[in-house]
Amino acid sequence: MIKKGVRLYSILFGKCPHCHEGEFFEGSFFSGKPKEKCSICDRKYSKEPGFYQGSYYVVYALGVAIFVAVWVFIELFIGNVGFNGILFSVIIGLLVSAPFTYPLSKIIWANLFFHYLEEKPGEEKMDNEGDAS
């Protein structure tokens, strides 16, 4: 299974990208609004004002992936439905996936910039001899 320390863990479970323990979103995943900071490690989730505007690039990439997936599915399993059938299917696929792609893009964006904390919050990092550093 996916363990803590892997970025995919933070993305799939909506956890803090830094400690993988605190919740990333206020309320539920579908709210799409990140908390100000983690309740466990106290890491601020925004590096600067407008930080999450970069997540629009991720939403665009997710939208393109959904478009391609729907188109390939139709071509492989349904057959020739024409341009209007493919267009209608892609639009429906994008509308159905919209509540997932918006918050997903924000947590993916945050995971690009925040790295996993090796030790647990509040613990000192130990070197090879066992002395606190």
Share of the chain above pLDDT 90, in %: 34
Is there a domain that residue 129 lies in? no
Structure tokens at 127: 């070197």
Lowest mean pLDDT among 34-38, 39-43, 54-58, 125-129: 125-129
Decide if 85 is inside a domain: yes
The total number of structural domains that make up the chain = 1
Q: What is the pTM of this model?
A: 0.78
Cα–Cα distances (Å) from 88 to 72, 83, 91, 111, in that order, read: 14, 9, 5, 33
Does 67 have pLDDT greater than 70? yes
The whole-number average pLDDT for the span 107-123 is 78
Q: In this predicted model, what pLDDT tens digit does every residue of 72-95 receive, in sequence order?
A: 999 898 888 888 999 999 999 999
Quote the domain boundaries for residue 17.
Answer: 7-113
Is the residue at 12 inside a domain?
A: yes
